[in-house]
Amino acid sequence: MNDAPVDDLAAQVAALPWYHSIELPGGIVTPGVVNNQRVLPRYHLPASLAGKSVLDIGAWDGFWSFEAARRGAADVLATDSFSWSGANWGSRESFLLARRALGFEGEVRDLFIDPTVLSPEAIGGQFDVVLFLGVMYHLEDPIGVLRRVTECTRELLVLETESTLNWLPFAAARVFPGAELNGDPTNWYQYNERALRGLLREMGFGACTTVFRYPLWRRFARATRDRLRGKSFRAAFYSSRIVIHARRS
C-alpha cells in the first residue's frame, strides 16, 4: 500500500480525471462518472479468481483489474489505448496512481494496446478470464474485434455492452451515427441479445448466459429524470446495457 500521506494522495487524485470510482486508502474515493461498487453485482463475476489469469480490455482507471486482483487472480493484465493515449479526457496516470495507492503493482500489469490489434501473440498468450466491458459499442468494427477477443479467451468471456431491439424475434443491430446514442459521438452500435449470443456461439462459445439486462422500467425512469434536468429523453431511453457470460465449449 502506498505510504504517502492521505492529504497528498487526495491532492493527486483531485488533479487527475476519473471515469471509475475507486476506493483508495484513507477513505478517499476517486470522483468517477460511474459508481462502480453500486453496479458491481450486475456483472456476476466469479467470487474467487484464485489461480486464474485475467485480461481487462479497456481498463481505463483500472477498477475491474483491481477487482480481479482482490478476488485472487494470479495474473492480471490491464490494457487500454483510448483513455491512456492522452488524446481523450482519460489519463493513464489515473490508473498508475490507483494501482500504486492500492499496492497492486506486483499483481496488475499494464499494456498500451488498441483492441483492434489484440492477439495472443501481442499480449503473451490466452487468458482464463477476459473482461470486455463497455468497449464493443464504441468500435467501428465490433465483430472483427470480438473475434480477436475470442482468440485471447481460454475459458470465460464477460461481455458488457449496449443492447437494444431485444423484443425482436431475430438477430438485429442498430447503428447510431453522430452522437445519437447518449450524446456520445464514440457510440456506434447496439446489438440485440439474439445477435450477441449468436455471434458468441459462432466464435466457439458453447454456453452463453445473460446475467444482466437493463429493465425497461429503469430505462424509462432514467430518461424521465434526464428530461427533467433538461437533457434528451430519447438519448437516455435508447441507452440500455446487457452482461453476458460466454464459456468455451
pLDDT digits (tens, 9 = 90+) for 104-149: 999 999 999 999 999 999 999 999 999 999 999 999 999 999 999 9
Q: What is the pLDDT of residue 39?
A: 94
Q: What is the pLDDT of residue 166?
A: 84
Mean pLDDT of 90-99: 97
Strands (E), the chain: 23-24, 28-29, 53-57, 75-80, 108-112, 127-133, 153-162, 173-175, 189-191, 205-213, 241-248
88 or 122, which is more confident?
122
Query: Do the Cβ atoms of 12 and 95 come closer than 8 Å?
Result: no
Q: What is the pLDDT of residue 217?
A: 63
Percent of the chain surpassing pLDDT 90:
75
239 or 166, which is more confident?
166
Looking at the predicted structure, is the pLDDT value of residue 237 above 90?
Answer: no
Count CA within 13 A, CB hemisphere, residue 144.
Answer: 8
pLDDT digits (tens, 9 = 90+) for 191-209: 999 999 999 999 999 999 9
- Count of beta carbons in the 10 Å neighbourhood of residue 53: 20
At what angle are helices 63-70 and 92-102 packed, to 10 degrees?
20
C-alpha dist (Å) from residue 129 to 86, 184, 189: 28, 29, 24
Q: What is the pLDDT of residue 180?
A: 72
Looking at the predicted structure, is the pLDDT value of residue 71 above 90?
Answer: yes
Mean pLDDT of 88-95: 94
Looking at the predicted structure, is the pLDDT value of residue 229 above 60?
Answer: yes
Percent of the chain surpassing pLDDT 70:
92
Q: CATH for 37-248?
A: 3.40.50.150
Taking the model in full, what pTM does it have?
0.91
Looking at the predicted structure, is the pLDDT value of residue 82 above 70?
Answer: yes
Q: Which three cell numbers stand for residue 40?
A: 458491481
Mean pLDDT of 91-116: 97
Looking at the predicted structure, is the pLDDT value of residue 4 above 60?
Answer: no
Mean pLDDT of 45-66: 98
pLDDT digits (tens, 9 = 90+) for 34-50: 899 999 999 999 999 99
**For the purposes of burial, counting CB atoms within 10 Å of the CB of 124, is it exposed (0-12), middle (13-18) or buried (19 or more)?**
middle
- At 222, the pLDDT band (50, 70, 90 cuts) reads low
- Count of beta carbons in the 10 Å neighbourhood of residue 225: 12
